[in-house]
């Protein structure tokens, strides 16, 4: 890619990300999203060219993971390192949050020298996003009243509503695969539920995909068995965005129908919205018995739809039988990671490397979100780093 062109494209975009958190793609303008994609591509190319992009000479980045994670944890760690920040994980077990500290207090206590806070809180419906808003309000207060020298930017590393770093990395992957964003217009993407022997998988990925891809004129088809509904608001948003972008959003209850002539398929398991809601209530009540029962019931229900698998036969239904297979990983691969799961082993193996490439965009997407939130003119800043041309590895060589 041509970095100079990419930088001037960026300079011609009218985006408004400075001083703002990145919580939901639905809150962002199309220009905002294009700016993040552009910055991510530039950072990725500069990394490939072994150029130093540390825009901070010191400062810490805090991550708060309320759910386990490998790739997002490492993506965030890598992103902040790329910008020159040091990661400090906030571990509630080690901390005193459990001991009556309020969120607003903790938010300030960890932020005196903090530039960004990455938060994953995806397990409880109605909680994750509001927790992030609460942290943000506390940071605004602390910054406005002189407690903090700088306002750390919050990056949503997955909440109950959206998984923006994943969805944006997925969009980068589509952009790379089909050549450009405009090439995505009219392309059909099937976001389909798939069977998994596990339970309680978050809804944020399918919700993130339908609300983001509809903005770029794609034909988005959401498929799932009855009872596996997503948050109503995300469906409304997807419809609205499709209308505005000249794309299309439809819902079907058949994986075959979704796959027919699809250019892209994204078969992934998730829990029904209603189950996640009940789960939230039971966790709040500390009702372990109820949770066991719920899991059992949920797994039994899943089992009814064990045929919702991304098989070779279904792949044949897609455009020329050669749709792009996508997954946020880890996938439940039939006969590999489980007896029967989301995808046939042969299909996954054929797209294994592409799914790694899909994931490889995430660190740069996160770094782009931080850069755009913390610097008024990230394009100018990166242009200066490009001119400086300092090596990242073999710095003096």
Among the listed ranges 105-113, 117-125, 209-217, 250-258, the one in contact with its own copies (CB under 8 A) is 105-113
- The footprint of its own copies on this chain (CB under 8 A) covers a number of residues equal to 85
> What residues between 158 and 187 interact with its own copies by CB under 8 A?
none
Closer Cβ to its own copies, 151 or 219, answer by number: 151
Identify the DSSP state of 321.
Answer: G
Closer Cβ to its own copies, 120 or 224, answer by number: 120
Among the listed ranges 1-9, 30-38, 73-81, 154-162, the one in contact with its own copies (CB under 8 A) is 73-81
Identify the DSSP state of 90.
Answer: E
> What residues between 226 and 255 interact with its own copies by CB under 8 A?
none
Closer Cβ to its own copies, 116 or 207, answer by number: 116
Closer Cβ to its own copies, 36 or 77, answer by number: 77
Please, what is the minimum distance in Å from the beta carbon of residue 121 to its own copies?
A: 15
Q: Does 108 bind its own copies (CB under 8 A)?
A: yes
Please, what is the minimum distance in Å from the beta carbon of residue 167 to its own copies?
A: 18
Q: Does 53 bind its own copies (CB under 8 A)?
A: yes
Please, what is the minimum distance in Å from the beta carbon of residue 251 to its own copies?
A: 29
Q: Does 52 bind its own copies (CB under 8 A)?
A: yes
Q: For residues 131-160, b (16+ Cβ closer than 10 Å) or e, as one string?
A: bbeebbebbeebbeeeebeebbbbbbbbbb
Please, what is the minimum distance in Å from the beta carbon of residue 70 to its own copies?
A: 4
Sorted by sequence, the CB contacts under 8 Å of residue 262 that are 6+ apart come out as 188, 189, 190, 221, 317, 318, 319, 323
Q: Does 332 bind its own copies (CB under 8 A)?
A: yes
Q: Which of 2, 5, 12, 99 binds its own copies (CB under 8 A)?
A: 99
Strand ordering across the sheet containing 219-223: 248-252, 219-223, 188-193, 264-268, 324-325
Please, what is the minimum distance in Å from the beta carbon of residue 153 to its own copies?
A: 12
Please, what is the minimum distance in Å from the beta carbon of residue 182 to its own copies?
A: 24
Identify the DSSP state of 27.
Answer: G
Q: Does 340 bind its own copies (CB under 8 A)?
A: no
Q: What is the DSSP string of 63-80?
A: EEESS--SHHHHHHHHHH
Closer Cβ to its own copies, 102 or 182, answer by number: 102
Sorted by sequence, the CB contacts under 8 Å of residue 39 that are 6+ apart come out as 10, 367, 368, 371, 372, 378, 379, 382
Check whether the bond before 149 is cis (ω within 30° of 0). Answer: no
Burial of 12 (0-12, 13-18, 19+ CB in 10 A): exposed
Sorted by sequence, the CB contacts under 8 Å of residue 154 that are 6+ apart come out as 21, 22, 23, 116, 117, 118, 119, 132, 135, 136, 139
Q: Which of 247, 249, 363, 369 binds its own copies (CB under 8 A)?
A: 363
Closer Cβ to its own copies, 235 or 336, answer by number: 336
Strand ordering across the sheet containing 60-65: 86-90, 60-65, 114-121, 153-159
Q: Does 306 bind its own copies (CB under 8 A)?
A: no
Q: Would residue 158 be called left, alpha or beta, if left means φ above 0 and alpha means ψ between -120 and 50 degrees?
A: left
Q: Does 392 bind its own copies (CB under 8 A)?
A: yes
Q: Which of 29, 31, 280, 357 binds its own copies (CB under 8 A)?
A: 357
How far lies 292's CA from each of 136, 172, 299, in Å? 35, 39, 11
Q: Which of 13, 87, 252, 306 binds its own copies (CB under 8 A)?
A: 87
- Compute the distance between CA of residue 148 and CA of residue 104 in angstroms, rounded to an integer: 13
Q: Which of 35, 60, 317, 326 binds its own copies (CB under 8 A)?
A: 60
> What residues between 124 and 143 interact with its own copies by CB under 8 A?
141-142
Instruction: Match 């990983």 to its residue by tokens.
Output: 329
Please, what is the minimum distance in Å from the beta carbon of residue 79 to its own copies?
A: 8
Q: Hey, how many other C-beta atoms are within 10 angstroms of the C-beta on 86?
A: 14
Q: Does 3 bind its own copies (CB under 8 A)?
A: no
Evaluate the CA torsion angle 149, 32, 235, 361 in order and state its sign: negative
Closer Cβ to its own copies, 314 or 362, answer by number: 362
Closer Cβ to its own copies, 65 or 305, answer by number: 65
Please, what is the minimum distance in Å from the beta carbon of residue 7 to its own copies?
A: 14
């Amino acid at each position: 890619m041509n970095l100079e062109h990419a930088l001037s494209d960026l300079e011609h975009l009218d985006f408004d990300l400075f001083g703002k958190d990145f919580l939901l793609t639905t809150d962002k303008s199309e220009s905002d999203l294009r700016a993040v994609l552009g910055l991510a591509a530039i950072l990725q190319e500069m990394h490939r060219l072994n150029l130093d992009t540390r825009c901070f000479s010191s400062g810490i980045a805090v991550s708060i993971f309320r759910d386990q994670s490998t790739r997002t944890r490492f993506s965030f760690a890598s992103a902040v390192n790329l910008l020159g920040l040091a990661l400090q994980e906030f571990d509630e077990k080690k901390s005193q949050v459990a001991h009556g500290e309020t969120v607003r207090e903790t938010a300030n206590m960890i932020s005196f020298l903090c530039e960004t806070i990455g938060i994953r809180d995806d397990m409880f419906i109605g909680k994750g996003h509001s927790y992030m808003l609460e942290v943000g309000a506390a940071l605004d207060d602390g910054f406005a009243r002189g407690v903090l020298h700088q306002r750390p930017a919050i990056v949503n590393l997955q909440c109950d509503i959206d998984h923006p770093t994943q969805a944006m990395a997925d969009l980068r992957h589509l952009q790379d695969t089909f050549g450009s964003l405009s090439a995505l217009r009219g392309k059909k993407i099937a976001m389909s539920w798939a069977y998994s022997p596990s339970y309680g998988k978050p809804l944020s990925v399918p919700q993130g995909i339908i609300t983001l891809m509809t903005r770029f004129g794609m034909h988005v088809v959401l498929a799932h068995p009855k009872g596996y509904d997503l948050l109503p608001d995300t469906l409304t948003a997807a419809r609205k965005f499709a209308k505005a972008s000249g794309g299309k959003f439809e819902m079907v209850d058949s994986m075959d129908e979704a796959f027919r002539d699809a250019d892209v398929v994204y078969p992934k398991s998730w829990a029904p919205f209603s189950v996640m809601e009940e789960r939230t209530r039971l966790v709040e009540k500390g009702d372990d018995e109820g949770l066991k029962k719920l899991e059992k019931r949920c797994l039994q229900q899943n089992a009814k739809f064990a045929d919702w698998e991304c098989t070779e036969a279904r792949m044949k239904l897609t455009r020329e039988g050669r749709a792009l297979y996508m997954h946020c990983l880890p996938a439940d691969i039939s006969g590999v990671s489980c007896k029967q799961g989301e995808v046939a082993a042969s299909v996954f193996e054929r797209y294994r490397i592409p799914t790694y490439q899909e994931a490889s965009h995430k660190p740069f997407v996160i770094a782009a979100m931080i850069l755009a939130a913390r610097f008024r003119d990230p394009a100018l800043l990166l242009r200066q780093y490009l001119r400086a041309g300092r090596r990242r590895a073999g710095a003096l060589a």
